[in-house]
Amino acid sequence: MTFLFDQWRSRSPHYDETHEAVCESVRAFVTREIMPYVDEWEAAGELPRDLHRKAAEAGLLGLGYPEHLGGSGITNQGAFDTFHGLVQSEEMCRPGAGGIPASLLIHGIGLPPVIAMGSEELQQRIAPQVLAGEKIICLGITEPGGGSDVAQIKTRAERKGASYIVNGVKTLITSGMRGDYISLAVRTGDAGMGGISLLLVDLNISGVSRTPITKMGWHASDTATIHFDDVEVPAENLIGPENAGFGGIMRNFNGERLGMAHQAAAYSRVCYEDALDWARERETFGRPLVTRQSIRHKLARILQMINANQAM
Ligand SMILES: Cc1cc2nc3c(=O)[nH]c(=O)nc-3n(C[C@H](O)[C@H](O)[C@H](O)COP(=O)(O)OP(=O)(O)OC[C@H]3O[C@@H](n4cnc5c(N)ncnc54)[C@H](O)[C@@H]3O)c2cc1C
């Protein structure tokens, strides 16, 4: 059923017919290409590569990215705004399997630093392949020593001639097992936030090794610990100026936090719809659960919280 997903949007001033169009096209893709395979991919622990290409063809990967880099835009009528991205994100939540959007749309956190700060050459080299679904780019910030305190990262990149030599470990990297590229936070300078740079690293080169991580959820999303042992990276793969990476990481986090919060709100609606369906279907003591006053109170209270959250 589409009780909550579709009712609230029509009451919001932020949405018009272009957002409805995004909703319809993403929903059609999810229904056709994702829903039938959720259990299979959750069991496999990863998504098929082909899904990225299909998502690109359907315009999902390129939504909101510049056309000259292979982005699709949305319509001819208006510009892309944040709400188009949010509509896409919440529609991807409908199957109730968080690992699928996390992994399929991993370029949403891996690619923005390249586009915002990378050289024109780097953008042209990387973005079109990613937006075509041919290559997967992930983001490498977190280390075994910690994730919240980004300014303390230890993975080091030493400049040697025309290259950087990278040594260190990243962990909990979404799409890290299948990823082709990683936007990697490395220490190029002194301690603290002022000594961090971002480097685009090819994950299929000598010195890179990966091990999968078993998680309690997000099963369809391959997640890795990635080791970098004397990995030689061309200096032209530096994303933005040296030692200016911290700002780029923080800018990335803004979009990521908004997306994660919106996904949490969308999942609450998925769960509510499931609970309501079950309360209508399940009979105890001769009547459906939904006819019981205590159950109706619970459902009303949850809906109140969801609507209040959504209104924010
Ligand atoms: C499924 C999954 C996918 C992920 N994907 C990626 C990815 O693609 N790329 C990537 O780089 N990282 C990724 N991460 C890592 C994620 O960003 C980190 O888990 C997160 O930043 C927290 O870091 P941590 O786990 O090291 O916790 P810690 O930093 O060790 O924190 C431990 C706990 O203490 C709390 N805490 C920390 N500091 C304070 C404080 N000052 N006051 C009060 N509480 C505090 C934290 O909120 C947390 O609950 C992923 C994590 C998960 C679980």
ipTM of the complex: 0.98
Name the token pair of 118.
Answer: 């990378």
Q: How far is the CA of 150 from the centre of ligand 1 (A)?
A: 10
| Residue 33, number of CB atoms within 10 A of its CB | 16
Which ligand 1 atom sits nearest the alpha carbon of residue 102?
Answer: 3
Kindly report the length of the chain: 312
Closest CA to 255 of 141, 107, 95, 117: 107
Q: In whole angstroms, what is the distance from residue 221 CA to residue 255 CA?
A: 20
Name the token pair of 25.
Answer: 């096209």
Test site for ligand 1: of 139, 141, 142, most ligand atoms within 8 A of the Cβ: 142
Ligand 1 atom 25, closest CA: 147
Closest CA to 62 of 40, 39, 43, 85: 85
User: Nearest 5°: CA angle at 102, between 304 and 276?
Assistant: 30
**Mean model confidence pLDDT for the chain:** 93
Which ligand 1 atom sits nearest the alpha carbon of residue 221?
Answer: 1
pLDDT for 71-114, tens place per residue?
Answer: 976 544 567 888 888 889 989 999 999 999 999 999 999 999 99
On the CB side of 304, CA atoms within 13 Å amount to 6
User: Nearest 5°: CA angle at 240, between 72 and 162?
Assistant: 115
Q: Rounded mean pLDDT of 41-61?
A: 96
Task: Determine whether 121 is an active site residue.
Answer: no
Ligand 1 atom 42, closest CA: 148
Domain architecture of the chain: domains with CATH: 3-134 (1.10.540.10), 137-248 (2.40.110.10)
Which ligand 1 atom sits nearest the alpha carbon of residue 217?
Answer: 1
Ligand 1 atom 40, closest CA: 148
Q: Rounded mean pLDDT of 170-194?
A: 98
Active-site option among 33, 57, 256, 273: 256
Pocket residues: Cβ below 6 A from ligand 1: 138-142, 146-148, 172-174, 215, 218, 223
Confidence of residue 4 (pLDDT cuts 50, 70, 90): low
> How confident is the model at residue 1, as a pLDDT?
46
Closest CA to 137 of 37, 70, 86: 70
State how far the alpha carbon of 125 is from the alpha carbons of 69, 115, 129, in Å: 9, 11, 8
Least confident of 84-88, 114-118, 241-245: 84-88
Q: In whole angstroms, what is the distance from residue 70 CA to residue 12 CA?
A: 31
- Burial grade of 154 (CB within 10 A; 0-12, 13-18, 19 or more): middle
